[in-house]
Amino acid sequence: MTITQLQYVLAIAEYRNFTIAAEKCFVTQPTMSMQVQKLEDELDVLIFDRKKKPIELTAVGKKIIEQARNIVNESHRIKDIVDQQKGFIGGEFRLGIIPTVTPTLLPMFLKLFLKKYPNVQLKIEEINTSQIIKKLKDGHLDAAIAVTPLEVPELKERVLYYEPFVCYIPKEHRLFSKKKINTDDLDFHELLLLEDGHCFRNGVVNLCPSSQKNKEKLQLESGSFETLIKLTNEGLGMTLLPFLHTLDIKPDTQNQLRFFEEPSPARAVSLVYHESELKSHITNALRDVIVGVVKGAIAFHDVKIISPLKNKNLN
């Protein structure tokens, strides 16, 4: 039994197809088939039911896959131990980031991180939360940046920052004259929201009274805050933005931003990783850089916020 054989069976279990799994592992399909057959012969069991289309795991195969994943992860930990002992921070690091965080956070920390840790080869994917959870579980991401809490047993979360919600209000709107907004001022039917599936949308919806939570006046299929801002400028409603996104608002429309009365509702943006904590030295380095660059931006406004970890209605 070899680590390579275990990596092959994990790939087949994921893709349920020998040809695709072989492509993902950069080997030929006959080579992969031969190695898996050797493993099955050695164990004297069938890991896969090849008669099914797509291929399915046998009952014992499911148990073998779980153990194989642990063994492969632990084998990777050996290199982590050596790197940490040498004080070396480098190698490939696969990072997932949700779409409502990428445009604002990535430009803030990426250049500094790469300059500080030139031996790290970052591979960044912009994907939604459900994909992040799956890829972290399957070992296809080393860490991710997402809104928490996720409450997934296999995953750990470390809050990077709490990002306040900020109102963006057209000049003719009834709330424009207010210096600070209270959550009770919000009318669900006046809000322009992101499409379903975005965690930021869910957080905004949860701020509104439950009696209002039916169809909004205008339904959009947009994942873009820029679109919401333009529609707000046209007087079609108001919207809520994550604080870091407001830093890019044009100077001539800055007066349309309104903070909430303290404590302000906010979202927890966290670094999420598998409980095995592989490549923890890179994860820690990444967290330190991000916390450093974001802390000043949010602290500048001295906003007291509600922690979503304490008030789950804001998830």
Collect all residues with Cβ–Cβ distance below 8 Å to 248 and sequence separation of at least 6.
104
CA angle 190, 194, 195 (to 5 degrees): 115
Dihedral over alpha carbons 152, 153, 155, 158 (to 10 degrees) = 80
Instruction: Please report, rounded to a whole number, the percentage of residues in the chain having pLDDT higher than 90.
Output: 50
Whole-model pTM? Answer: 0.76
Same domain, 121 and 178: yes
Where is the domain boundary, 56, 83, 110? 83
CATH classification at residue 293: 3.40.190.290
Question: Residue 7 — very low, low, confident or very high, per pLDDT cuts 50/70/90?
Answer: very high
CA torsion, points 117, 160, 269, 166, in degrees to nearest 10? Answer: -110
Task: Looking at the structure, tell me whether residues 95 and 78 fall in a common domain.
Answer: no
Domain extent at residue 25:
3-83
Bridge partner list, 122: 93
> Model confidence at 131, in pLDDT bands (50, 70, 90)?
very high
Residues 33 and 132 in one domain: no
221 & 260 share domain:
yes
What pLDDT, in 10s, does the model give residues 105-117?
Answer: 999 999 999 999 9
Position 263 confidence tier, pLDDT thresholds 50, 70, 90: confident
Tokens for 51, please give them. Answer: 């008669």
Total domain count for the chain? 2
pLDDT at 144 over 90: yes
| Same domain flag for 77 and 96 | no
Of 66, 83, 100, the residue that ends a domain is 83
User: What's the CATH code of the domain at 14?
Assistant: 1.10.10.10
Q: Which residue has the tokens 């920052």?
A: 161
Q: Are residues 122 and 269 in the same domain?
A: yes
Residue with tokens 């949308």: 201
Q: 15 with 136, same domain?
A: no
Residues 121 and 177 reside in one and the same domain? yes
Residues 12 and 106 in one domain: no
Same domain for 150 and 75: no
Sign of CA dihedral 296, 298, 303, 308: negative
Same domain assignment for residues 136 and 253:
yes
Which of these ranges, 23-27, 214-218, 275-279, 299-303, has the smallest mean pLDDT?
A: 214-218
Residues 49, 146 share a domain: no
Single residue among 83, 105, 123 that ends a domain in this structure: 83
